[in-house]
Amino acid sequence: MITTGKAIYSILSANTGVKTLVGKDKDNNYKIYPLIIPEGTVLPCIVYERSFVNQGTKEGTGMSDSTINITILAKSYKETIDLSEAVATALIGYRGGSIRSLILTSGAETYAEGAFIQALTFSIKSV
């Protein structure tokens, strides 16, 4: 669904654990960004992107299957793990609004350009 990205931001930015760990940027916004990390952002931060496929019916309604990729970047490995756990706690099993199911399907970790990185992939069913 087109609004799934907006819902992910709302869920994460409302979660006390995520807010505490990710902090705010110079504009006083939580460092949770769609698609790109603004230049000059101090780690840790979260960036997310989505893709979706709609399953319509003759009536024009149906389920939407979305994939949300959430990338967590921080200066220490422990920070990425702590933030990943907070993100997972906020999202796994969430139901509300148009979201009917939200599950963690995969994850990976790496290190690049001075940052520890956790990549989490979630599957979302929504109407």
Q: How far apart are CA 123 and CA 112, in angstroms?
A: 26
3-state helix, strand, coil in the chain (%, to 5): 25, 45, 30
> CB–CB of 69/124 below 8 Å?
no
Of 71, 102, 76, give the one whose Cα is nearest residue 89.
102
The answer to whether residue 25 scores a pLDDT higher than 90 is: yes
116, 76 Cβ separation under 8 angstroms:
yes
pLDDT at 21 over 80: yes
Q: What pLDDT, on a 0 to 100 scale, did the predictor assign at position 19?
A: 96
Q: What percent of the chain has pLDDT over 90?
A: 70
Task: Confirm whether pTM is higher than 0.75.
Answer: yes
Q: What pLDDT, on a 0 to 100 scale, did the predictor assign at position 66?
A: 87
* Nearest CA-CA partner of 51 in 70, 72, 73: 70
Element of type H or E holding 83 = helix 77-91
Average pLDDT over residues 24-44: 94
The C-alpha angle 57, 59, 64, rounded to 5 degrees, equals 45
